[in-house]
Structure 1
């Protein structure tokens, strides 16, 4: 039974990661048998993983088929509102609870990420790791669970805002302000810096969508 549970968990993250990496795009149909063959697992854990992804809104029904969900303009705005609230709280709590070692890891991430400014897709992955590190530094398991759900929904956004000209450099400057506030144990400043960071990302994304 434990092996089955592990297989189900692995299948869930395998499909989720494939969507996150753009291997399956919004509106694209997912076929249970094809996924089982692709990932080398049985159809049962794939079926359970697809059901879980549907429950979480990552997949949607199109007749009898499951397709990768897409976000309309209003849903995108709603997602960013919730993200800003939860991420701001995570930064505030990190300012209170982060260990010195965790803060040093954040600074190291900022330093290394500067090498990726010209490679937005890689920088986008590094950006997710940076935000995840702040979540963990909040030391609040319930908040982390909610943020995990928000970031799963973010995989439905087809492109990263970091492809916009100059956004990578600005994003890293914003990351520096966030870490500086956390290091100073200034919860208000950390909260505000992260909210502004999310706001800038949202504004950039809206501009990209408008230019399409």
Structure 2
């Protein structure tokens, strides 16, 4: 592949993926090649290649001849959280072992700054992704980072954030502080367990959100 095409391909893929991640495109939304090219100012060829790549990764699915943003059913969501819990826990344990002092300081600074976002679920969700990604990097295991990247891409297919639940922002922040404290103390077992518990609470919160949504729509 030539050097002139690969940056455009990467940009188109990243632009669409980011748009799904921030909720610009939600599960069920139809993605049209020409519309995306106009929206992002990218030619149709890299847009087409990006859509094919996203379909291969199961982030998009076919609805007749159209491509729509995929959605997760209850079982898929449960399976995703099981995998996420184990991989995130491993990342935290490895971070406790391998993170540099500077990486630990960055985690401390992130959590402190994120306290200001407790009442803003959208911004807190973005900050939450940055925080988890920082732990992934601090694990210093490239293969684990790659797998967690795939998991977090699939998380974007959930239409709402568990951080929107009443009181969840403050609780999540307290959980983040406990995770960072364990990493800073180089306590691998405690760091892994703290992050696993954090994911379990998030999953429980999301299940309650879904149940409330079904009750409202019934």
Shorter chain as denominator, the TM-score bin is over 0.9
Correspondence 1:111 to 2:112: yes
Alignment of 1:144-183 (within 5 A): 144-183=145-184
State the superposition RMSD in angstroms: 0.6
Match of 1:195 in 2: 196
SS in 2 for 1:2: coil
Distance 1:7 1:56 in 2: 19
Q: Separation in 2 of the partners of 1:125 and 1:83?
A: 17
Residue 23 of structure 1: how far off its partner (Å): 1.4
1:3 has 2:4 as partner: yes
Q: CA deviation at 1:22?
A: 1.4
**TM-score normalised by structure 1 residue count:** 0.99
User: Aligned residue pairs: how many?
Assistant: 212
CA shift at 1:64, angstroms? 1.3
Could you say which residue in structure 1 is the equivalent of 2:16?
Answer: 15
2:25 and 2:172 mapped to 1: Cα distance?
A: 27
- Aligned residue number for residue 77 of structure 1: 78
For structure 2, list consecutive stretches of 5 or more residues without a partner in the other structure: 214-218
- What residue is the counterpart of 1:121 in the other structure? 122
Cα offset for 1:24?
Answer: 1.2
For residues 135-168 of structure 1, the C-alpha deviation after alignment (integer angstroms, 9 at most, x for no partner) is 0000000000000000000110111101111100
Q: Offset at 1:3?
A: 2.1
TM-score for the superposition, normalised by structure 2: 0.96
Give the Cα separation in 2 of the matches to 1:126 and 1:21.
Answer: 12
